[in-house]
Structure 1
């Protein structure tokens, strides 16, 4: 398999948007671990530009990358072993060290918890039970890593059971047509309107049917897309149409949100909102993959480092956001100043976490990097680097 640089850029861009999205969660009137003193209703409008597709896109790209990783592995067992190291180790490290400040801030700001962070971490965090409505310890935003690992293990099990047989031909025949737009949209509409109407993601692995119904098919779609020239050709034919439909669907989502902020939408606008959101989500993904295939499928001197950096960025970014907002709360800053400080502090914190962590051999696997670290004099110039890192 040739590397698809366009999907690398999509992955980098999606994780970059995630920083702005989670900073936005501080201001939007939706539930989050810490909130500004003055939430702003209209912030939901720009949040909805990515809300319906950002995570699905990451699972699709992860499925695509998993196909390449499986092809490089000696078999399903070896593939799972490598994924255990790259996903489970950072997940456990993150849950033990990176994440705990988030529930502590939530408990102190929302539930009146008066213990210091050290006391909380030593006495309350590792209780393996419910504490003030929070299940501790927790994976918080690292649920994505857990779900990706579970889907990876399920995929490897399926590959082992198939014993060399393949469904790739069936996928090619179906998704090499306009069905690449219509079938996923039909599935998402069926899930959101009929199978699980009104369901919300819980990020609890065993009671999160709506998330699994969205993300597992997306992951498997990406896996099959990695070896499907007919499907990629179909995306090439339909991505412009998909982009137009995504924009129109977002306009409907924004109009309904603006008229009825929150979830109190009268019939039939709640159904229209859910429908438009599902259509927007999948059409945006097809449009973005089409753009990546057409315009972004080329290498750049910065791509290798950014591709490596996104996983450490993901691990640390939400903890930085929550901690910095907790520090800012007593000052009652204007929203624009508060937003600017959060963005700059989060970007700086993410870069510091990655740049320092990559230089420490024992820390690298804990933050999602390969364990080997070359001596500085032996490292290739970024402009000449060709070695690849897939997370």
Structure 2
């Protein structure tokens, strides 16, 4: 077990926003909620998968909805706890630990606040290794772990329990609750034993986020460009450098959908780059040339600071480095591509790993 204090939270917030591929909720809000929880409850207890008992009872905790909504609809801090309370009541037993659903600015840190309020540890793992738009986009789905029963809670205290036929239907039903209640809700779901958590989760995600954030911070302190260090650590690829000259966002169907367009600078002068997103970046292309696509990660880093720029934080004139990060092997499996590959999101081409695209594109 390791104690997680404010410095670790600061670093995790930055690293999680890198792995969030532009989505996952506002990292600033998640950081504030976690820091406030430390003031109230003390440092968090975080355990590894090896330290988790096989018969422990664990659930996921997260926000669901359009990240853009959180700019105005700020959480009150009770939604996540209320969802877990209701799920415990449904099962008639207490949870022994809480785990993140994904690596996202808000969704990586919200579970820490919930775990502290419940007096249980957080598990150093998640179900994605990145952020994805939909509830069923977790490795737990690949191993047939049901999301339901799932509980949805909003800031007013409304509670909805979902019993769906499968995880895709759990997403549809929960998304409609989010739309009805203002665009975002908090959930508790994917209840499972410690043995299943170990078998089906991506290990060490919170620590991984922390190291990414610490690397960026230490480079800034040394006045060293963090981008090469981050590329090397992540095994990532620089796809483009440019100035944002057009961005379009709309909240539709409970998602933030849109595109961002960059004009190339430096070695990319005279070229263009377009990103397509549904909460998270799904496609990066230059003209007709595809540079990277889901399920690989696409992140935009500020060209000066290497701090990640979220889809809702993109503004005209911003200068960014677009990078592609190879995704965890689970998502490159046939089943992973079926639920999170480009064709699932309506793109008419097959997935090609980012490292192959970089090689083929020269």
Question: TM-score, normalised on structure 1?
Answer: 0.27
Q: Which has the higher strand share?
A: 2
Q: Which has the higher helix share?
A: 1
Q: Which structure has the larger Rg over C-alpha atoms?
A: 1
Question: TM-score, normalised on structure 2?
Answer: 0.28
For CA contacts below 8 A with separation 6 or more, give which structure has more relative contact order: 1
